[in-house]
Chains A and B, each alone.
Chain A
C-alpha cells in the first residue's frame, strides 16, 4: 500500500473517531457547567493529557522543526521551558484557580479575575484580552487546518483554487460539530485522543530520526562537520542574537502563565489533591511530544549534511520531506493524523473560551446575564468558528500575523495578573487593569509597527533580535508591580471564603 493511501486512511479514521467523540459528549452535556468546564469532573490523567495537547498546536510539528532547520539550536529555546513550565503553572496559578473554583462558580478566566478582585471592569478587560488573543489564534489554527487537510488529501492538484476553501470547510464542519454539540466535554476527550496520538508519534519519529541518521553522535557529528551548517548550528545561541534565544526562553517559559486554554483546564479537575501529579504528567508528556520537533529538526539538516537529501527550498518542508522519504507508510499516516490532531486540539479549546467570553464574560462586565448560557454558548461557538474561518480565508496574511503573536498577546496581557496577582494580596484591581492594558496595547501596537513600512514612520526602536512579545511581557510585569506599589489606597477586604481558598493554596 502506498504512503498516500496510509496518510489518507489515517486522516479519515481520525476525523471519524473525532466525530464519534463529539456525538458521545453531546449526550452528556446538559448544563452550562458541562459545556464550559466539562462538569468539573475530570481525572488527573485526562486533564494533563488534554492540557498537553491543547498547548501544542500544529506549529510544534510543522513550524518548529522548520525553525530549527533555519536557526539551529536557538529554535529549541522555545521548547526547552517545557521542562519546568508545568510545575510553575501549578505552583503559581493552578492550585489557586482550582480552589477559587471551590468557593465561586468559576467557569472562565475572567470569572477568576472577578472572584479575586470583585471588579467588573477589570474582569471585562480580561475578557477583551481573551477574545482578541483567542480569535486571532483560532483563525490561524483554522487556516492551518485547511492547509493540512488539502495537503493530506492532495486536493490542490484536483480542485485548484477551490482546494483551500473546500479543505477549510471540511475542517470547520468537524470542529463545529463536536464543539457545538459536546462543548468542553467533547473538546477534552478529543484532546485526549489527540494527545495520545501526539505522544506515540513523538517517540516513534525520534527513534526513526536517530535510526536514519546513524545515531545521536553521528547525527550531531555530521552537523558540526558540515560546511552548510557547521558549529554555529549546534551553538546554543546559533547565528541569532542572544536577545532572540533568551527571549524565546522567557516568552515560552513565563508566557504560559497567561494562556487561557491551559489555565482553563484547572477548573475541570474533580479533585484538587490530585494536582500533586499534574507537573510530572504534563511535563513528561510534553517532553515526549517535543521529541518529534527535536528529532526532525536535527535529523533533516543532518541528512542534508550527509548528502542523503538536497537542501530544502523552504524550512517548513522539513517535516513532510522527512516523513514522505524516510518514514514507513503507517507511521507517516499516523503523524499526519497527529498534525491534524495538534491543530484541532488547540482550535477546540480556543473556540470554547472565545464563546464563553462572548456569552458569559462580556455581558457580566456590563452587569447583564444571558438566560440560557448552554444554548447561547452553542450559537456563539457556531458564529465564532464561522467568523474566524471566514476572516482567516479572506485575510490570510492578517490572520497569520494575529495567530503568530496571539500567544504573546495572551501571555503579556494575562500572565502577570495570574502569576503575581493571585499570590500577592496587595495587588489592586487598578494594577491588574494597567497590566492587562499594557500587555495588550504594547504587544499589538509594537508588532503592527514592526511590520509597517509607511514613509516617515521610524523603524521600531528595539535592537536586533529583541522579541516584541518579550518586551511587552516584561513591561506588563513591571507595570503590575509598579502600580501596586504606587497605589496607596486601602485595599478592599477579600470575602472570607476567597481569602481562605487563596491561603489554602499556599499550603
Chain B
C-alpha cells in the first residue's frame, strides 16, 4: 500500500509517543529534555494529522515553525532560569518565554491557521444534503434527519 501523508503523520506520532514512554522509564536530565520537546511537539503533530495538510502545504510550514518555536521555548527556559528581574513585558525572561511561547503564541497561531483553512462552503447546506442522501440510500437508522 502506498504511503499517504496521514500514514506518515500517524507513524511520527507513534514514534514520538513511544519515545516519551521510553524517556519516562529511563529518567534523568537528558531523557527529561527529550520528553519536554516531545510533549511540546505532540499537539502539533496531532494538528498536522487532523488538518487538511494535503491541500494546504503552507499549513505544514506554519505548523513546523510553531513546533520549532515550542521546542526552542523548552530549551530556552533552562538557559533563562535564574534571572528574576521583570525585564520582558513586566516578567522575568524565562517566565515571558513560557507565557508567550506556550500560551499566547499558540492561541493566535492555531486560531489564525484554523480559521484561514476552514472552508465553510465545503460543509454548507448542499454538502450536508448530499451526505444525508447517501445515508438514506444505505437505510441508516436515524439518517436523513434534517437539523431542527
Interface residues of A (CB under 8 A from B): 39-41, 73, 76-77, 80-88, 90-93, 95, 99, 102-105, 216-217, 220-221, 224-225, 230-231, 234-237, 241-243, 245-247, 249-250, 253-254, 257, 270-273, 275-277, 279-280, 283, 287, 419-420, 423-427, 461-464, 466, 470-471, 473-475, 477-478, 480-482, 484-485, 495-497, 500-501, 504, 506-507
Contacts and interface: CB of A to CB of B under 8 A. Distances in A.
A396 B102 CA distance: 36
A236 B14 contact: no
Given A80-B98, A92-B49, A235-B81, A497 B134 contact: yes
Contact of B118 (A236, A275, A423, A495): A275
Nearest to A471: B24
13 contacts: A40-B148, A77-B102, A80-B103, A82-B103, A99-B131, A103-B134, A220-B90, A242-B36, A246-B32, A247-B35, A254-B43, A425-B6, A466-B27
A150 B124 CA distance: 50
A230 to B, nearest CB: 8
A103 B124 CA distance: 15
A103 B28 contact: no
Nearest to B127: A504
Nearest to A94: B50
A83 B132 contact: no
B42 A99 contact: no
A497 B141 contact: no
B47 interface: yes
A83 B106 contact: yes
Q: Which of B24, B55, B91, B138 has the most A CB atoms < 10 Å from its CB?
A: B24
B40 to A, nearest CB: 7
Given A280-B115, A424-B6, A504-B127, A224 B84 contact: yes
Nearest to A39: B148
A507 B130 CA distance: 15
A283 B107 contact: yes
A463 B35 CA distance: 13
A99 B130 CA distance: 12
B51 interface: yes
B64 to A, nearest CB: 15
A371 B38 CA distance: 48
Interface string B4-36: 001101110110011011001111110111011
B95 interface: yes
Nearest to B49: A423
A236 B36 CA distance: 12
A338 to B, nearest CB: 22
Contact of A221 (B86, B141, B143, B147): B86
A202 B43 CA distance: 26
Q: How large is the interface on B (under 10, 10 to 19, 20 to 34, 35 or more residues)?
A: 35 or more
B57 interface: no
B46 A257 contact: yes
Contact of A249 (B102, B138, B143): B102
Contacts of A86: 110-111
B114 interface: yes
A366 to B, nearest CB: 17
A463 B30 CA distance: 13
A93 B50 contact: yes
Contact of A217 (B7, B82, B90, B110): B90
A105 B143 contact: yes
Given A105-B143, A243-B27, A420-B49, 4 more contacts: A84-B106, A279-B115, A423-B49, A471-B21
Given A242-B35, A271-B147, A91 B114 contact: yes
Given A470-B24, A496-B138, A504-B127, A88 B47 contact: yes
A453 B124 CA distance: 58
Given A104-B143, A242-B35, A254-B43, A461 B90 contact: no
A477 B21 CA distance: 10
B50 A470 contact: no
B7 A224 contact: no
B81 A88 contact: no
A306 B28 CA distance: 37
Contact of A105 (B46, B50, B54, B142): B142
Nearest to B29: A242
Q: Which of B6, B52, B74, B114 has the most A CB atoms < 10 Å from its CB?
A: B114
B147 A41 contact: yes
Contacts of B77: 235-237
B6 A500 contact: no
A272 B121 CA distance: 11
B10 A484 contact: yes
B20 A470 contact: yes
Interface in B87-135: 90-92, 94-95, 97-99, 102-107, 109-111, 113-115, 118-120, 122-124, 127-128, 130-132, 134-135
A87 B92 contact: no
